[in-house]
Amino acid sequence: MLRLLPLLPLLCAATFETGDSEPYPHESFSDKQLARSLKKANRASGIEEILVRDERGETQAKKTRELPRVGLSALLRVHGLSPAKDTVYRLLVPAEDDRIAIVVTWEPPRAVVEVGVALEPLHADQDAISVVVLDQDGAVWDGAAWGLLADALSRLTDVELKRIEGLRVVRMEAPPPGVRAQIEGDGRLVALYDQRDDQSSLILTNYAVQGNLGSFCGPAADPRPTSLHTVLHELGHAVHQGRFRARLQEIRALESAFPTPEGKTREAIGRHMALTKEHKSEEVSPVIAAWKAQFDSSPTEYGNTSAPEAFAEAFALYHLDPQALHRAMPDAHAWFESDYDP
């Protein structure tokens, strides 16, 4: 089964991410000039209050002159985008030689600002990778790819790691031809999870590591390249399919131990047919069954396509930015904290 997820924005409601090529307004202005310009823009847009959210998720009202320069610049940029209500804007604001992660939540008559830190590249050695099996098909592993995978794996629990033990992670330049044709838009597929019978693999394309610092996910205080969210989403599929793979592997062992002229035992055939039926109905995973019993929504728009996608989106957000999941779906956050059993 293919799980396809292009490079998508993160967080609830609508999300806008700026690009590197877009210049920031009023870059030559002094701090006082920026503050005056923001006051004027706020009056015109009906913004009466600016709240600053800290890394603990607590907010405090601030006057315009109390905001740091990057915060002023980010808010002016949002004003220039004709902002929509209840929209989250994720921006990388130039500051000397760095780009600072800023999250602006537009909730007229107020705007909530999170001023973070510089977005840094991910890098690791192969020794940092465990549990999964590395492979390559037309692309090579390097420090950036190892860093992306190592960061994702480091966020999983021991039980979740057990569920994906032996998962084959394959580096490819781009998606396989048959997959590329199914992708809408510009086809920038970062990663996909492929389940074929009892074998599974996670494909990691060049898009995951090239230009990996153009946008960010996670909290502004600890930003990560956006592709990390996609990798965690696909690992979420691998986790919820873990028991299914284990049961199929049991069947394969039965077939090998008790071969018949047809190559399968009657018991194995029956179990295989039952599993296949369950798999098609998306009830094969106890995790997805438990999710569907509790929730009929998703923390992101993409997750509304199906229960497995909703779970994978919540899974990624919980491991990447649990406070954001709590704001978007507090019940889902509580479920991961207490009832979730991978």
* CB-CB contact of 240 with 285 (8 Å): yes
* CB-CB contact of 122 with 148 (8 Å): yes
Report the distance separating Cα 238 and Cα 208, nearest Å.
18
Is pTM beyond 0.85 here? no
The pLDDT of residue 6 = 32
β-strand partners of 280 = none
Which tokens sit at 323? 């406070």
Domain 119-213+226-239 is found in CATH 3.90.400: no
The pLDDT of residue 9 = 31
Report the distance separating Cα 70 and Cα 78, nearest Å.
12
List per-residue pLDDT tens for the chain, 342 residues long.
Answer: 333 333 333 332 233 444 444 556 677 788 899 999 999 999 999 999 999 998 787 899 999 999 999 999 999 999 988 898 988 899 998 888 888 999 999 999 999 999 999 999 899 999 999 999 999 998 999 999 999 999 999 999 999 999 999 999 999 988 777 666 555 445 567 888 987 766 789 999 988 887 666 789 999 999 999 999 999 999 999 999 888 777 777 777 766 666 665 555 566 666 666 655 555 444 458 899 899 999 999 998 889 999 999 999 999 999 999 988 998 999 999 999 998 988
Among the listed residues 202, 279, 218, 273, the one whose alpha carbon sits nearest the alpha carbon of residue 17? 218
